[in-house]
Structure 1
Amino acid sequence: MNRTFALFPTLLLVGCVAGPNYRVPPTAVLNDPNISTPFLGQDDARMSQGELPARWWRLYGDPKLDSYVEEALAANTDLRAADANLRRATAIVHEAEAARTMRTNISGQAVGTRVAGPADGLPAPFSYSMEFALSYPLDLAGTIHRGVEAANAQAEATLAARDQVRVLVAAAVTRNYARVCTSNITLAAARHVVEIQKSTLEVATRLTQSGRGTQFDVDRAGAAVHVNNAAIPDILAERKAALYELAALMGRTPADYPKEVETCDVAPALNRPIPVGDGAMLIKRRPDIRSAERLLAAATATIGIEEAELYPKISIGGFAGTAGPADEFLKSASFGFSVGPLVSWSFPNRKAVRARIEQAGADADGALASFDGSVLLAVQQAETALAAYAYARDRLNELELAATAAGRASDDAEKLQRFGRTPFLDVLNAQASFADAQTSLSAARANLIDRQIDLFLALGGGWE
């Protein structure tokens, strides 16, 4: 208790603000020099150290995709909810700031009193009182200051959370748009393989009818047709699912999915290296890091709010009023006023307040750990996405070579079989290899676009 009274004169003289002033702790992972360096995985001709643009999806140069993303950012239900959360957080800031304004109070009453005794039965005398009071909080301990600080930090964290939703929505729209296009490309490849195998089935049937083939060859060729035909419904289902998800992201019903994209047969493609920046740019760009840092600031301000409970709350103000018997209503003798400081101090349960200060300190330590975790996660995700994209590109290159070779082998097998220089089974095997190569190639093309979007998502693009 002595320590509290010793600090009280200081508060009155200089108006100290309780609690620590916020700054990113020097021990934070953010301050590690390795965080701000170029990425380990960007030594690749397909990537550059340039800054990722806010609207990264425009790197694909597809006006249709651009329009879908912009529509989703305007109508997506998750974003509407995030906007509502932001408005609420802003209103909380206004409420906290309102605690600094002048407070007024008006009161009045009229009382009739009947006294028992000889005057019993006479009319009761009436008296009145009216009072108007003004007060302004001095906030010497900084309760209001820290409250506004915490509310602002919470609102900024909510804004960052809204930006994170924008990132996710833009990525989801781009991913599903690409899924529709790659599904159509895969569908075309699957149907092409089926047509080749149908031709082979017709040849096997004619050879068998002319006595130069066997029913075994016909059955094997027919099975290949049915197996590859069976893959087509799954491709159609995946395309339909992507269209419906795209509609939902844009705030539309499934029946109102964008019909014009249903026939898209050119997958989004980048025409220049992906600008990935470096660790320093990533830290500034990732909304989840901004959110974690602002929550740390809010937790630090809360320590001050709790510490301020140890000190009295002082306001300056005054009141004016009139009171007296009813027959002297508003006469000059009935008026009075006073001006001066108003001290309100309910002596706190110091153990309870100290416990709340410790709780706030623990919350701040937890917020720092979350902030450090968000920085480490961001860098890890960026490095992982960079590596995955590079390997997906290498895999696609190999599968393109494999598909070309399998196509040549299939054509050669058909020619050799026509001249009786290879058995019919070799033709079927070559066509099966070609079908597998085409399926793998289509999947690899779709996977490459997915890895690109994963990279953009990890880099945190999509907000300004």
Structure 2
Amino acid sequence: MRTLPLLSLALLLGACTVGPNYAGPPKTLSDAAGTTGFKRVSPTTSAAAPGVADWWTQLGDATLTDLETRALAANPNIAVAQARLRQARASLRLNRANQAPSANASATYLHARVPGIDLGGSGSATDTGASAVDFYNLGFDASWEVDLFGGKRRQVEASRAQAQAAEANVADAQVSLTADVAQAYVNLRDAQRRIALARQSAAMQQRMLTLVRQRFDRGAASALDVERLGGQVETTNGQIVPVQAEVDGYLNALAVLTGQEPGSLDTVLATPAPVPLPPAEVAVGDPAALLQRRPDIRAAERQLAQRTAQVGIADAARFPRLNILGLIGLGGRQLSDISPDKLVAIAAPMLQWNFLDFGRNRARIDQAKGQRDEAEAQYRGAVLAGLRDAEDSLSRFGHRRETVASLMRSKASADRAAALMQQRFQAGTATLIDTLDAERQRVAADENLSSGLAALTGDFVSLQKALGLGWSAVPPQS
């Protein structure tokens, strides 16, 4: 009963928690200025809140959707991030468990034989004058460090923030992965389209070369015309080779991103397909929602919360520590001694205080505060970088649409010019050089439009990454 007042005092002191309380992330420049939207929003974007996951389905490409699903399920980088998340959650459970008492049970049997000493009891003497004794014991011991100044509670707080940062890092890995898969897929389809255009151009030029050779045999064309057109055919064929190497590279990249060996997707993606195009209007939300949505910003904010809690951990180390030890034992020199009437109980509270540390704890507190200030600066930097990334992506996406519109008009004009020149050539009112020049311009316009459309979709992918989309929310840890 004497320990009851001490336990009551310990529980009362256990309500104290030293160190700063985390009050949320610092105000950003956009918060202070009252910004309500992005300044680069164009007629093709809206301030509506975008969805979080599966943005790639807006491109309407079933093959891309299948690749994204495979990548999220099998990519090694996602597996690494998820393994770190499990470690962080296990650390949180461990620190929570450390707040509770620890208990151990033991059963002991001891047989001692000591020469020249009469131990008495049930032991028997030997011819050499030694005696032996048996000892039996059943014991239960427990220990509990009372969290007087909240050091353990701060440790749980820091572990919880670390686990939440790990959740955000998983989402950030998913954002990067889905964007990389989509960009590689768009590049693949663009390269396949350029190969198809080059082959069409080479086939047309080969037919023209055959026609020119026939005219040369009849004396209606010069050898110079034959050589020029033959060189153009070889140049066009030569342009296919490096683009084919690009195709192989994108195929290997997609295989690795989906967690497979290079070459595994060659058959699946061998058939060319059009470059998927973004929707007519894209929802981008507002900067305030962006700060809550981007996983890298959320991870930086959770790391700031963790560093703030660690200041409290360092501060609690300056104060005394109270450990309560308890022991219950049954035993004696015979098995019959293990009975309730032979119960031995011990309670031992122990107070420790390292009050003379020559400034070590103060140095640890200053170190923790410096780490907290570093985390706050990193959070501000992540916010500014995220806002800039979003603004730049919006600007590129908006201007790219204008570029694509111009390229479409240029292609239409080149198609009409090539058709008119071909008619004049067949009527004998235009030279072969003029006809080839018009055809080159048509092919170039077609290639420029194809590349422009691929760049537009690529800018759409970059915009989704800048907005922090493409991740699946991790279920909260209770």
Give the letter for the 1:257 counterpart: L
Q: By how many angstroms is 1:177 displaced?
A: 2.4
The residue that corresponds to 2:130 in the other structure is 123
CA contact (8 A) 2:117 2:130 kept: no
Structure 1 CA distance, aligned partners of 2:247 and 2:87?
39
> In structure 2, which of residues 308, 314, 327 is the aligned counterpart of residue 306 of structure 1?
314
**Alpha-carbon contact 2:225-2:432 (below 8 Å) kept:** yes
Opposite residue 20 of structure 2, the aligned amino acid is: P
Which whole-Å deviations, capped at 9, do the CAs of 1:274-300 have from their partners, x for residues lacking one?
111111121111100111011111111
Count of aligned pairs between the two proteins: 453
- CA deviation after TM superposition for structure 1 residue 148, in Å: 0.8
Question: Does 2:15 align with 1:15?
Answer: yes
Deviation at 1:354, TM superposition (A): 0.9
Q: Could you report, residue by residue, the CA deviation over 1:124-177 in whole angstroms, capped at 9, with x for unpaired residues? A: 475869553223332011111011111111111111111111111211222222
After superposition, residues 18-417 of structure 1 pair within 5 angstroms as: 18-26=18-26, 28-29=27-28, 32-34=31-33, 37-42=36-41, 44-53=42-51, 54-105=53-104, 122-124=129-131, 126=133, 132-257=140-265, 259-316=267-324, 318-321=326-329, 329=337, 335-339=343-347, 341-347=349-355, 349-417=357-425
**Is the partner of 1:45 in helix, strand or coil?**
coil
Conserved in 2, the CA contact under 8 Å of 1:35 and 1:279? no
Q: How far off its partner does 1:247 sit?
A: 1.8
More helix by share: 1
CA distance in 1, matches of 2:315, 2:83: 32
The equivalent of 2:5 in structure 1 is none
1:455 counterpart (455, 458, 463): 463
Instruction: Tell me the distance in 2 between the aligned counterparts of 1:323 and 1:30.
Output: 71
TM-score, scaled relative to structure 2: 0.86
* Separation of aligned partners in 2, 1:198 and 1:41: 48
| SS, match of residue 317 in structure 2 | helix
The 2-side partners of 1:324 and 1:265 are apart by 86
CA contact (8 A) 1:58 1:66 kept: yes
For residue 87 of structure 1, report the CA deviation from its aligned partner. 1.0
Higher mean displacement: 167-176 or 250-259: 250-259
TM-score by length of 1: 0.88
> Is the 8 Å Cα contact of residues 37 and 285 (structure 2) preserved in structure 1?
yes
Query: CA RMSD of the aligned region, Å?
Result: 2.9
Alpha-carbon distance in structure 1 between the residues aligned to 2:255 and 2:167: 26
Q: Within 1, Cα distance between the matches of 2:343 and 2:128? A: 32
Displacement of 1:320: 2.6
Output the amino acid matched with 1:49: A
What code does the residue aligned with 2:382 have?
S
Gaps spanning 5+ residues in structure 2: where? Answer: 1-8, 119-124, 474-478
Letter matched to residue 44 of structure 2: R
- Provide the C-alpha distance between the structure 2 equivalents of 1:330 and 1:40, rounded to a whole number of angstroms: 82
Unaligned runs of 5+ in 1: 1-8
Percent of matched pairs sharing the same residue: 31
| Alpha-carbon distance, 1:315 to partner | 3.5
Q: Would the alpha carbon gap of residues 264 and 33 (structure 1) be closer, same or farther in structure 2, given more than 3 Å must change?
A: farther
2: CA distance, partners of 1:346 / 1:123: 48
Change (3 A) 1:70 1:122: same
Provide the rounded CA distance (Å) in 1 between the counterparts of 2:226 and 2:304. 71
Q: Which amino acid aligns with 2:148?
A: L
- Give the Å deviation of 1:417: 3.2
> CA–CA distance in 2 between the matches of 1:348 and 1:428?
92
> How big is the shift at 1:350?
4.5
